[in-house]
Structure 1
Amino acid sequence: MLTADRLHFAYPGATGEYRFSFTANKGAVTAISGASGSGKSTLLDLLAGFLRPQSGSLTLDGEDLLALPPERRPVSLLLQSDNLFDHLSAADNVALGLPKRTAKAEGRSMVGAVLDQVGLSANVDQVASTLSGGQKQRVALARTLLRDRPVLLLDEPFSALDDETRHAIRALVLELTRRQGWHTVLVSHHADDVAALAERRYLLAGGTLEEAG
């Protein structure tokens, strides 16, 4: 279980502050909703280690995650921006998510498989700068899924997708979350995404999280 207990954070010089407490179960999606500017990205940055709280705890199955720097946390983060290298192909962008020391042939196979899962098997060699917004989002998601970390953080991961693709990719995320035993935390404004995926739901308002029904 991923557990945040009274994580307290305030930006220097700012008047507002945040207090986060929630749990996310293994093999399930936990959704975080809230208005723009309510602190959803701040929460993800705390979980990923890019920000440090002033107090509180963050554990994964009892392991203290706050003691770990971002690069050592068992966390994969998909940002709202696709964060691709425009001069690289879809396959080369995805390959950046491969574990270190992956054999070349094995890496090609893994990259091809995950691109096929997100419906981009025909775009393997296409340069990222020529992809559509929805295709870029799927490449970024494929790279994140390939990392296969116990904690998966998704920040509006389906926003650029058409309805048909959105439903297919949502189903893929849910299937992999269950099969791989990930603790998936989804930030989304879309009620249908939350309803389709989330086992547990939280609303972020006034700097605090409250569990929704």
Structure 2
Amino acid sequence: MTETGLLIDQVTITLAEREIVSLTRRVAPGNVLTVMGPSGAGKSTLLAYIGGFLDPVFRAEGRVLVDDVEVTALKPEDRHMGVLFQDPLLFPHMSVGGNLMFALPQAVRGRAARVARVAEALEGVGLAGLESRDPATLSGGQKARVALARVLTSSPRALLLDEPFSKLDADLRAQTRELVFSKARESGLPVLLVTHDEADAEAAGGDIVRVGA
């Protein structure tokens, strides 16, 4: 029987023989697991291990599976983890539409189909018609929405959120949180959120793991 969702299976990360993270948890599709702790507690290190970009100074053991696919056995580019960071990290030399077009899977073939997919993604985050805009002309909230749309167009297996709301003001933060979590539910994506903000954890509404306390 196939187990759906994200499984973090006996993952242990150490630095110079000191244990940074030790975790076993399952996250159902559309649900959020929040990992909380102060800066330097290993929250982002866990995301880096799952995403495949862990700094080699760390040693990691354990498996991470999504829908019974062991992603930690795959190359980083084959894991298809959707990652949102504190900064939107939009490509400045590309238009908004170009940013999303870049993320589309190769399976979406033909220019008309790709253009339609980008338009649909932008409409889904409330930015319909902004394909030609320069990312530099967008507000902070709009950039966050474009970053989310770009991640979703890549057809990720799961979402990894590295404090993506921390640089937004209070109103935008609440709006963006709700948008991200609602899109995850709609898409049936398991979500791993790392944060030090209690309001983020409360908005996520799922289980909470505390590290580095």
TM-score interval, normalised by the smaller of the two chains: 0.7 to 0.9
What residue is the counterpart of 1:72 in the other structure? 78
Name the TM-score, length of structure 2 as normaliser: 0.84
Q: What is the CA distance between 1:179 and its match in structure 2?
A: 2.4
Q: Is the 8 A contact 2:144 2:176 kept in 1?
A: no
1:169 matched to which residue of 2? Answer: 176
Q: CA deviation at 1:98?
A: 0.8
How many residues are matched? 204
Counterpart of 1:209 in structure 2 is none
- Take 1:189 and 1:63, find their aligned partners in 2: how far apart are those partners? 30
Q: Assess if the C-alpha contact under 8 Å between 1:6 and 1:19 holds in 2.
A: no
Q: Which amino acid aligns with 1:201?
A: I
Report matched runs for 1:39-118 at 5 Å: 39-51=42-54, 53-102=59-108, 103-118=110-125
Counterpart amino acid of 1:42?
T
1:26 pairs with one of 22, 25, 29: 29
Contact 2:121 2:149 in 1 (8 A): yes
Mapped to 2, the partners of 1:205 and 1:113 lie a distance apart of 41
Paired with 2:119 and 2:135, the residues of 1 have a C-alpha distance of 16
Alignment match, 1:211: none
5+ long unaligned stretches in structure 1? 207-213
**1:160-202 deviation line (CA, Å, top 9, x unaligned):** 3344443333233222222221111112232222212232111
Q: CA deviation at 1:34?
A: 0.9
Amino acid at match of 1:151: A
CA contact (8 A) 1:137 1:160 kept: no
Of residues 4, 7, 30, the one that matches 1:3 is 7
Q: What is the aligned partner in structure 2 of residue 138 from structure 1? A: 145
Offset at residue 144 of structure 1 (A): 0.8
RMSD: 2.2
The aligned counterpart of 1:16 is 18
User: What's the secondary structure of 2:77's corresponding residue?
Assistant: helix
What is the aligned partner in structure 1 of residue 162 from structure 2?
155
User: How far off its partner does 1:96 sit?
Assistant: 1.6
| 1: CA distance, partners of 2:167 / 2:204 | 18
Task: Tell me how far 1:101 sits from its aligned partner.
Answer: 4.2
Q: Work out which of the residue numbers 16, 32, 38 in structure 2 matches 1:35.
A: 38
Measure the CA separation in 2 of the matches of 1:6 and 1:88: 40
2: distance between equivalents of 1:65 and 1:46? 10
2:135 match:
128
The 1:95/1:20 distance shift into structure 2, 3 A limit, reads farther
Map Cα deviations across residues 65-93 of structure 1 (whole Å, 9 max, x no partner). 22111111141111223222112111111
Q: Kindly indicate whether the alpha-carbon contact (under 8 Å) linking 1:27 and 1:184 is maintained by their aligned counterparts in 2.
A: yes
| In structure 2, distance between residues paired with 1:180 and 1:101 | 18
After superposition, the Cα gap between the structure-2 partners of 1:167 and 1:83, relative to the gap in structure 1 and judged at 3 Å, is: same
Which has the larger displacement, 66-75 or 46-55? 46-55
Asked if the contact 1:156/1:186 (under 8 Å) is kept, the reply is yes
Give the whole-Å Cα distance in 2 for the aligned partners of 1:93 and 1:117.
16
